[in-house]
Amino acid sequence: MKSNNIKKRGQVTIFIIIAIILVAMIALFIFFRSGLLPELPFGKEVNPTAYMKSCIEDELYDGIEELSYRGGKINDDDEFIGNFFIIEEEDVKRKIAYLCYTGEIDGRKCTNLYPFLIGSIEDELIDYISEYIEEDCYGVMINNLNLESDKSKYNDFDLKLTEEGIEINLDMELTLEKNEEIKNYDDFNFKYSSSLYSLLKVAHLIVEGEATNCDFDSSDYMFYHKDISIKKFPPNNGNFEVYTIRSKSKDSLFRFAVKGCLI
């Protein structure tokens, strides 16, 4: 009897394991078919457009976070180019770019170092994600699909900050063949949600105020723009400030430094 009971329990265990494996396989099939796992599409039906958009997304947002805390710069601290202020947070020192700066000590107004701030930030993001898009997104997809050179083409991409977010347009073409069916893909225009453009517009206004009047009326601006929060890091020597601009609704920020107008 004991031997029969052991056999029965063993059979039940095997059936349970088989059932778990079947459920897992069905779940994976559904995920791949629905496009919820675009980062692992190879060997199944592939949607190149969905894959490229998803692949770019994390790297793009990583770049946005980096430059948002550094005054629009993504460089590592040891490669930081330009004038910067060092701030220490949680025992970590971080360099923040000055957007308005004077090296004089006689109270002169600061000079706007980035009069085309939005364009400068677009260039930073392009430099940050360019190699990643070509090698880690496009390159990986082409290698896994084993496409011949005449079946795919990638040239470059454009990036633009807008009120609605970030637009990325890839100059890219792709041809897939399956069961004698040919599909051509050439529409790789993506939109990503971000409040960076709006925060940079506020930063530009602040820098213009500092360069012109040695100050910016944050309280007045926030009174008329309820979604925006502006805080200044109290200066120790009277001629530098660190501004932090936040979007309350989207929980995002942009921070930068100003030096000038010693009183």
pLDDT(79) > 80: no
Higher-confidence residue of 131 and 30: namely 131
Task: Give Rg (Cα) of the chain.
Answer: 26
pLDDT(34) > 50: no
Residue range 187-243, pLDDT digits in tens:
999 999 999 999 999 999 999 999 998 889 999 999 999 999 999 886 555 578 899
The whole-model pTM stands at 0.76
Cα 60 to Cα 125, 133, 155: the distances in Å are 7, 10, 19
pLDDT(110) > 80: yes
Could you identify the residue written with the tokens 């004991």?
A: 2
Please give the DSSP secondary-structure letter assigned to residue 262. Answer: -
Maximum average pLDDT range among 75-89, 160-174, 246-260: 160-174
In this prediction, residue 85 has a pLDDT band, given cuts at 50, 70 and 90, of confident
Higher-confidence residue of 40 and 146: namely 146
* Mean pLDDT, rounded, for 176-186: 80
Amino acid at 102: T
Higher-confidence residue of 157 and 251: namely 157
In this prediction, residue 23 has a pLDDT band, given cuts at 50, 70 and 90, of low
Angle at alpha carbon of residue 234, lines to 231 and 235, rounded to 5°: 130
What average pLDDT is seen over the chain? 81
Q: What is the pLDDT of residue 90?
A: 62
Instruction: Report which of 81, 89, 86, 52 is spatially closest to residue 173, judged by C-alpha positions.
Output: 52
57, 60, 62, 67 alpha-carbon torsion, rounded to 10°: -160
Alpha carbon distance 172, 56 (integer Å): 14
Q: What is the pLDDT of residue 143?
A: 84
Alpha carbon distance 7, 38 (integer Å): 43
pLDDT(80) > 60: no
Higher-confidence residue of 115 and 238: namely 115
Higher-confidence residue of 95 and 108: namely 95
Q: What is the pLDDT of residue 87?
A: 75
Q: What is the pLDDT of residue 135?
A: 93
DSSP character string of 19-35:
HHHHHHHHHHHHHHHHT
- In the chain, where are the structural domains located? 1-34, 35-259
Higher-confidence residue of 249 and 227: namely 227
